Amino acid sequence: MKKEEVKFPLQVEFLEKLKKAISKNISLADELAEVLGVSLDSAYRRLRGDSALSYDETMAICTKFNISPSILENKETGFVNFTYKSLGVERVKLSGYLESIKKEFLQLHEFNNIHFYFAAEDVPLFHHLDFEYLTPFKYFYWRKSILNDTTLDGKKFDKKLISPEVLNLSKEISRIYQNIESTEVWTEETISSTLSQITYYWDSGLFATKKDALSVCDDVEEMMEHLQLQAEMGTKFPRKNPPAEGAKNFHLYSCEVQIGNNSMLVQADQLKISLLGFNTFNSLQTFNLNYCLENERWIQNLVKKSILISSVSEKQRFQFFRKVKQMIEEVRRKIENE
């Protein structure tokens, strides 16, 4: 009789290595059931490779036992396992999606020397999350124009269509991100996608009023002014509340090389995670060490071709943000004159 094929062999290998790393007096199945909040039967299905571990579950296990997820990697050249993180109307509510991001952030804080690296073709999500008009506009755009949320059919942008729960979660995530050291590589075109979304909605009559459209523009400008001030200080902090002095946890680079995609690397002691953006809001995630190292080399190569405009390079920083503000002003004038 042919032996039944294991559905998730790398997962089984990962859990076998974990079993060898813990005390023989500990039941791994019992531990998994407790850590993951599942039944003992569900824990055994994961041990056998019948059920897949989710990203959140993998991080919870690694945090519990203080191990690196990199042992999940496959050594075979060119083969990489990705976790698909999707925001879909049919599957995941926006609040649930944001809760998962918050949970992952809090799990990452269990590791030492955490650092985020962004190659930002578009403005990273975390900069959008604490504005009266811009935050609900981005969510409305993603739900209506990207996810085809039928509950928004025939509706124009109204900030009240986004629930207070979602907005509060957004602010929490923004605050957590401000406490994480990050390196971001931007081009002058990084802001373009947000401005294109505003222009598209204006040209399509999807703003209820001109005031709403201009208010979104005002928030975009405030976002960039806040980013400029953070770059000047080399420190991330909440809007309208700059610290007298803060940890130098923000490194912003201006790059003239076209980036081509949104790529992120999360790095800490004994941890590397790569995330690749796709379908606008979704992402692919992997712990594969070879892939993460290649992603790290690519980002570092971009950094070498870029100019550091945080803390230093006052002239280049001014020129970068002047160009961005001119782009915002062009969109604002278009709306005002029509």
pLDDT at site 322: 96
Q: Domain count for the chain, please give it.
A: 2
Q: Do residues 182 and 267 lie in contact, with contact meaning Cβ atoms separated by under 8 Å? A: no
Closest CA to 299 of 249, 250, 262: 262
Interacting residues of 203 by C-beta distance below 8 A, sequence separation 6+: none
CA distances to 110, 250, 311 from 233, rounded to whole Å, are 27, 8, 6
Write down which residue in 52, 72, 92 finishes a domain: 72
* pLDDT at res. 2: 44
Domain co-membership, 58 together with 104: no
Same domain, residue pair 60 and 92? no
- CATH (domain of 14): 1.10.260.40
What pLDDT, on a 0 to 100 scale, did the predictor assign at position 329? 96
Q: For CA atoms 92, 98, 104, 107, give the dihedral sign.
A: negative
> Based on the domain organization, do 149 and 249 belong to the same domain?
yes
Q: Are residues 114 and 261 in the same domain?
A: yes
pLDDT of residue 98: 84
Question: Domain range holding 161?
Answer: 83-336
Which run of H or of E encompasses 251? strand 250-255
User: Domain end: 40, 72, 104, which one?
Assistant: 72
Asked whether residue 78 is assigned to any structural domain, the reply reads no
Query: pTM (2 decimals)?
Result: 0.77
Do 139 and 215 have their domain in common?
yes
Give the pLDDT of the chain (338 residues) as one tens digit per residue. Answer: 344 566 777 778 778 877 776 666 778 888 888 888 888 888 888 888 888 887 778 878 877 776 666 555 555 556 677 777 666 544 457 788 888 888 888 878 778 889 999 999 999 989 999 999 999 999 999 888 888 888 888 999 999 988 899 899 999 999 999 989 999 999 989 999 999 999 999 999 999 999 999 999 999 999 999 999 999 999 999 987 777 776 789 999 999 888 878 899 999 887 888 888 776 667 788 888 888 889 999 999 999 999 999 999 999 999 999 999 999 999 999 999 98
Q: Are residues 142 and 224 in the same domain?
A: yes
Question: Tokens 């907005």 map to which residue?
Answer: 167
Residue where a domain stops, chosen among 44, 72, 100? 72
